[in-house]
Amino acid sequence: MNTRPIHPLQSRKCTALSGRIAVPGDKSISHRALMFGASAVGETVISGLLEAEDIINTARAMAALGAGVERGDDGTWRVRGLGTGGLRSPAGPIDFGNSGTGSRLAAGLIATTPFSARFTGDASLTKRPMGRIITPLEKMGARFEAAGGGRMPFTLYGARDAVPIVYETPVPSAQVKSAVLLAGLNAPGRTTVIERQATRDHTEHMLAAFGAEITVEANGSGRAITVTGERELAATPIAVPGDPSSAAFALVAALITEDSEVVIADMLLNPTRTGLVQTLIEMGADIAISNRRQTGGEEVGDVTVRSSLLKGVTVPAERAPSMIDEYPVLAVAAAFAEGTTRMQGLAELRVKESDRLAAVAAGLEVNGAVVATGEDWLEVTGRPASGLGGGLVATHLDHRIAMAFLVMGLAAGVPVTVDDASMIATSFPAFPGLMGGLGAVMEVPA
Ligand code: S3P
Instruction: Give the tens place of pLDDT for each residue, 25-38.
Output: 999 999 999 999 99
Is the model's pLDDT at 314 over the cut of 80?
yes
Residue 362 near residue 368, CB atoms below 8 Å: no
β-strand partners of 344: 377
Q: In percent, how much of the chain has pLDDT > 90?
A: 96
What mean pLDDT do residues 436-445 have?
A: 97
CA distance 81 to 36: 8
Cα(379) to centroid(ligand 1), Å: 23
Residue 195 backbone phi and psi in degrees, to 5: -120, 135
Residue 172 CA: nearest ligand 1 atom is: 16
Count CA atoms closer than 13 A to 199's CA, side-chain side: 20
Among 26, 54, 122, 325, the active-site one is 325
CA distance 68 to 49: 16
The protein residue whose alpha carbon is closest to atom 16 in ligand 1 is 173
What mean pLDDT do residues 248-269 have?
A: 98
Is residue 1 very low, low, confident or very high in pLDDT (cuts 50, 70, 90)? very low
Range with lowest mean pLDDT among 3-17, 71-85, 359-373 = 3-17
For residue 207, which of 250, 178, 230 has the smallest C-alpha distance?
A: 178
Vertex 100: Cα angle to 416 and 170 (nearest 5):
110
Cα(446) to centroid(ligand 1), Å: 36
Cα(348) to centroid(ligand 1), Å: 10
Cα(27) to centroid(ligand 1), Å: 10
The protein residue whose alpha carbon is closest to atom 10 in ligand 1 is 325
Is the model's pLDDT at 154 over the cut of 90?
yes
pLDDT value at residue 3: 60
CA distance 333 to 283: 10
β-strand partners of 413: none
Residue 167 backbone phi and psi in degrees, to 5: -135, 125
The answer for residues whose C-beta is within 8 angstroms of residue 127's C-beta and 6 or more apart is 151
Is residue 297 very low, low, confident or very high in pLDDT (cuts 50, 70, 90)? confident
Cα(111) to centroid(ligand 1), Å: 19
The answer for residues whose C-beta is within 8 angstroms of residue 294's C-beta and 6 or more apart is 300
The protein residue whose alpha carbon is closest to atom 11 in ligand 1 is 28
Residue 21 backbone phi and psi in degrees, to 5: -130, 155
With a Cβ cut-off of 6 Å, ligand 1 is lined by 28, 101, 173-175, 178, 199-200, 324-325, 348
The protein residue whose alpha carbon is closest to atom 13 in ligand 1 is 173
- Mean model confidence pLDDT for the chain: 97
Overall residue count recorded for the chain in this entry: 446
The protein residue whose alpha carbon is closest to atom 4 in ligand 1 is 325
Is the model's pLDDT at 103 over the cut of 50?
yes
β-strand partners of 287: 305
What mean pLDDT do residues 247-261 have?
A: 98
Is residue 5 very low, low, confident or very high in pLDDT (cuts 50, 70, 90)? confident
For residue 21, which of 433, 446, 443, 442 has the smallest C-alpha distance?
A: 433
Active site residue 54: no
Residue 105 CA: nearest ligand 1 atom is: 12
Mutate to test the pocket of ligand 1, among 175, 272, 323, 355 (most ligand atoms within 8 A of CB): 175
pLDDT value at residue 4: 72
Residue 83 near residue 41, CB atoms below 8 Å: yes
Mutate to test the pocket of ligand 1, among 180, 200, 327 (most ligand atoms within 8 A of CB): 200
pLDDT value at residue 295: 83
* Three-state DSSP class for residue 433: helix
Residue 174 CA: nearest ligand 1 atom is: 14
Cα(381) to centroid(ligand 1), Å: 28
Residue 31 CA: nearest ligand 1 atom is: 11
Is residue 221 very low, low, confident or very high in pLDDT (cuts 50, 70, 90)? confident
CA distance 312 to 283: 6
pLDDT value at residue 197: 94
pLDDT value at residue 131: 98
